[in-house]
Amino acid sequence: MDMKNLSDASCPIARGLTCVGDAWSMLILRDASLGLTRFDEFRKSLGIAPTILTRRLATLTEEGLLERRRYSERPPRDEYVLTAAGRDFLPVLILLGAWGRQYRGEGRLARYIDAETGAEIEPVAVDAVTGAKIGTRPIRVATPE
Amino acid sequence: MDMKNLSDASCPIARGLTCVGDAWSMLILRDASLGLTRFDEFRKSLGIAPTILTRRLATLTEEGLLERRRYSERPPRDEYVLTAAGRDFLPVLILLGAWGRQYRGEGRLARYIDAETGAEIEPVAVDAVTGAKIGTRPIRVATPE
DNA sequence: CATGTCCATATCATTTTGATAGTGACTTCA
DNA sequence: TGAAGTCACTATCAAAATGATATGGACATG
């Protein structure tokens, strides 16, 4: 889709989608959040064509969600590590996963576990102001100007 | 992308992405969450080509996030309303918006307001078990089998 | 020096997209 | 009564994106 006019829209959701608005990018961020950093790790994990992976990694790097870092001079090898912006995308993915579990959870599913307690994570989005679960209270949009 | 092998992956994020893994679908869900229901409302709001809109609405309906409902017999007119699954997708969008505000928030942005208190919503994803913000504690994945 | 690893790029068929125009079933206005 | 407007699409078709496969280049290993 045409991301140009979307990115200067006043909607923060649309803004977010211009950087990470496709499935491959989100899956790359998922894998990166689980610790993958290298081209071939992503390729094998995702079964993605190398052409596409190159492009997606480049975009995510340009957008500031990944950082390309040389981890070997000889032979020259780069890896992709999450930036702060990339790390902060994880909650979106986890919440998307929670939705997927609830509505597309047939069969065996991977579960996300708190590494310290060992308990399965139960993700919820709340409004930090009211403490209410998002979606339980009506929302209004305030457009600028 | 090829959504077939993705949807029977064991990852709930990948499962979620097979239904709503593109920007248009998410924007349609955003608008639907704000109350839009009709073809032309979506078309005008999004500036989307009618061919694409038809397809996206059909997919979202098939996937069970929207429901097509006849609101006029003469002339025959249908509208699209959110199902429970569609409504429950809102937290994902709001959180994506929060990310967009933080990292792509240049210029004037729309804000999301609690309709009752009038205060701006501050969305956070937390683990309901530990109460901790998602991303502040290490996560492990438990794969089935 | 042959093979393997890693990070890609080249090529090209297939698929998806998006812009534009048109259609059908009406309603409303003059 | 007839012209124009509304709404929810479909048809057509050029342009762009995707994805499969092959290849390259720089090295390390056996």
The pLDDT score that the predictor gives to residue B57 is 97
Please give the C-alpha separations between residue B43 and each of B35, B75, B80, in angstroms, as whole numbers. 14, 20, 13
Q: Which residues of A touch B33 (CB under 8 A)?
A: 139
Domain ranges of chain B: 4-90
Chain B residues touching residue A64 (CB < 8 angstroms): 103
Higher pLDDT, B143 or A45: A45
pLDDT, tens only, B80-94: 999 999 999 999 999
Strand C contacts (CB < 7 A) among A residues 72-131? Answer: 75, 77-79
Is CATH 1.10.10.10 what the domain over B4-90 is classified as, yes or no? Answer: yes
| Minimum-distance CB partner of B141 among A27, A85, A110 | A110
> What pLDDT digit, counting tens, does each position of A66-120 carry?
999 999 888 888 999 999 999 999 999 999 999 999 999 888 899 999 999 999 9
The residue in chain A having the minimum alpha-carbon distance to the alpha carbon of residue B17 is A23
Q: What is the pLDDT of residues B27-55, one digit of tens each?
A: 999 999 999 999 999 999 999 999 999 99
pTM of the model: 0.94
Q: Would you place residue A55 in the very low, low, confident or very high pLDDT band (cuts 50, 70, 90)?
A: very high
Contact B16 A104 (CB under 8 A): yes
- Per the prediction, chain B carries an average pLDDT of 92
pLDDT at B75: 86
Helix A50-62 to helix A23-33 angle (10° resolution) is: 80
| B73 CA: distance to closest CA in chain A (Å) | 31
| DSSP class per residue in chain B | ---HHHHTSS-HHHHHHHHH-BHHHHHHHHHHHTT--SHHHHHHHHT--HHHHHHHHHHHHHTTSEEEEEEETTTTEEEEEE-HHHHTTHHHHHHHHHHHHHHS--S---EEEETTT-PBP-EEEEETTT-PBTTSS-EEEE---
B-chain CB neighbours of A12 within 8 Å are 96-101, 104-105, 109-110
Domain A4-89 has CATH 1.10.10.10: yes
